[in-house]
Amino acid sequence: MDRRKALVIYNPTAGNLRDADLYIGSIVHNLCKDERFAVTVVTTLADMTQRQCAAMIADDYELIVAAGGDGTIRLALGAVSDQAPHTPVAIIPLGTGNQLARNLNVYQENLLSDSLLDGIDIMLNGTPTAIDLGLMNGEYFCVAAGAGPLSDAVITPSRQDKASLKMLAYVSSMIQTFALPPVVFRVNAEGDTFDVNASGIFVTNVADLGVGILSDSAELSDGLLDLCIMNPTEFTDYLQLGFRFVGGFVSGEAPYYIRKVSAVDIDVVPVESRLSDLQAIAHKVRTTLKGQSEDPPRYQHVQAMIDGDAFGTTPMRIHVKPNAVRVLTKRK
């Protein structure tokens, strides 16, 4: 009997797992057991592009396994979407965030859950589910793209802090953004153009951004993305935002604007930022301590983020690719 062909794409440095051979051995063993699959294993490399990853994917693979953190999953799913969109993909969440895996209910983040074992179970027994992907300046993302101080706060925590503190690693970086001036963004949402003063803009494909619920209405298979604009101005706004992102320990909502979009362009308007009284005081203290000018900056561009990683700068041209790839999920 001919065995089916499977490809395993994995990151040997993912998360806290010191010995990649242990978890890859378990994945391959389960695929090869009872002669189910003939398995090919490839590793991701630093700065690998999705085009390079796509070149490793042959048409005759009947299963693709993506094992690693959010960066590895993004790389693999983008490559599969371009090269073999109908081939089912199993996600083995091994990173510090694992946002897409959580939103797909591949595993539950608790003391009794083992993300490796949960992922392997779905790899063997799951059912294919079509999901959307987003593209920002030609690069695929699974979870969200963002810009502004609040987006930078998602990037700021170190791998060590995220590994040891989990979602609490983001609280400090979120709250500290009140000392950073907001940005004046120009947003074109499918022909509706407006300027907005905001500390963060996110275009999200999922409800849970990995630091809590960003948009209650976001869905992975609705053919749309959620544009979320946040403009906290008071300390309580920042506090609510920080703790909302780690589990909703504080009631209330930080200032939000959310709408569904299939495409959106985001750029920076090079004018002086408008600070609230709290932001002005915090900015003055921060710049004085650093010996910098107290004048609010005129941003020419700001850093862009996709799936928790820095990726270029504004302007950001974003659109959705509906039903971009089929991932394995729990059977209902």
pLDDT tens per residue across span 136-166:
999 999 999 999 988 888 776 655 655 555 5
- What lies within 8 Å, CB to CB, of 141 at 6+ separation is 74, 133, 134, 135, 205, 306, 307
Supply the pLDDT for residue 114. Answer: 85
Supply the pLDDT for residue 257. Answer: 77
* 312 in a structural domain: yes
Supply the pLDDT for residue 241. Answer: 56
Query: Are residues 100 and 235 part of one domain?
Result: no
Q: Is the pLDDT of residue 169 over 80?
A: no
Query: Are residues 248 and 169 part of one domain?
Result: yes
- 3-state per-residue secondary structure call for the chain: CCCEEEEEEECCCCCCCCCHHHHHHHHHHHHHHHHCEEEEEEECCCCCCHHHHHCCCCCCCCEEEEEECHHHHHHHHHHHHHHCCCCCEEEEECCCCCHHHHHCCCCCCCCCCCHHHHHHHHHHHCEEEEEEEEEECCEEECCEEEECHHHHHHHCCCHHHHHHHHHHHHHHHHHHHHHCCCEEEEEEECCEEEEEEECEEEEECCCECCCCECCCCCCCCCCCEEEEEECCCCHHHHHHHHHHCCCCCCCCCCCEEEEEECEEEEEECCCECCCCHHHHHHHHHHHHHHCCCCCCCECCCCEEEECCEEEEECCEEEEEEEEEEEEEECCC
Supply the pLDDT for residue 246. Answer: 45
Q: How many CB atoms lie within 10 A of CB 306?
A: 27
Q: For residue range 25-52, what is the model confidence (pLDDT) as tens digits?
A: 999 999 998 788 999 999 998 888 889 9
Supply the pLDDT for residue 62. Answer: 96
Residue 243 banded pLDDT, cuts 50, 70, 90 = very low
Q: Is the pLDDT of residue 108 over 70?
A: yes
Supply the pLDDT for residue 94. Answer: 86
* 132 in a structural domain: no
Query: Among 22-26, 124-128, 195-199, 230-234, which is the least confidently predicted range?
Result: 230-234
Supply the pLDDT for residue 249. Answer: 35
- How large is the average pLDDT for residues 59-73? 92
Q: Is the pLDDT of residue 294 over 70?
A: no
DSSP class of 177: G
Q: Is the pLDDT of residue 168 over 50?
A: yes
* 155 in a structural domain: yes
Supply the pLDDT for residue 328. Answer: 97
Query: Are residues 89 and 24 part of one domain?
Result: yes
Q: Is the pLDDT of residue 247 over 50?
A: no
* 133 in a structural domain: no
Of the candidates 67, 93, 125, which is a domain's last residue?
125
Supply the pLDDT for residue 198. Answer: 87
Of the candidates 125, 154, 183, which is a domain's last residue?
125
Query: Among 67-81, 236-250, 265-279, which is the least confidently predicted range?
Result: 236-250
Query: Among 33-42, 124-133, 170-179, 216-225, which is the least confidently predicted range?
Result: 170-179
Of the candidates 72, 97, 125, which is a domain's last residue?
125
* 249 in a structural domain: yes
Residue 287 banded pLDDT, cuts 50, 70, 90 = low
- How large is the average pLDDT for residues 226-255? 56
Residue 174 banded pLDDT, cuts 50, 70, 90 = low
Q: Is the pLDDT of residue 212 over 70?
A: no
CATH number at residue 217: 2.60.200.40
Report the domain count for the chain: 2
* 37 in a structural domain: yes
Query: Are residues 95 and 26 part of one domain?
Result: yes
Which of the two residues, 235 and 250, has the higher pLDDT score? Answer: 235
Query: Are residues 168 and 76 part of one domain?
Result: no
Bridge partners, residue 328, by sequence = 128
- How large is the average pLDDT for residues 242-250? 44
* 138 in a structural domain: no
Predicted TM-score of the model (pTM): 0.84
Q: For residue range 295-327, what is the model confidence (pLDDT) as tens digits?
A: 666 788 999 999 988 999 999 999 999 999 999
Query: Are residues 267 and 196 part of one domain?
Result: yes
Backbone angles phi, psi at 270, to 5 degrees: -80, 65
Query: Are residues 45 and 15 part of one domain?
Result: yes
Q: Which domain holds residue 54?
A: 4-125
Supply the pLDDT for residue 319. Answer: 98
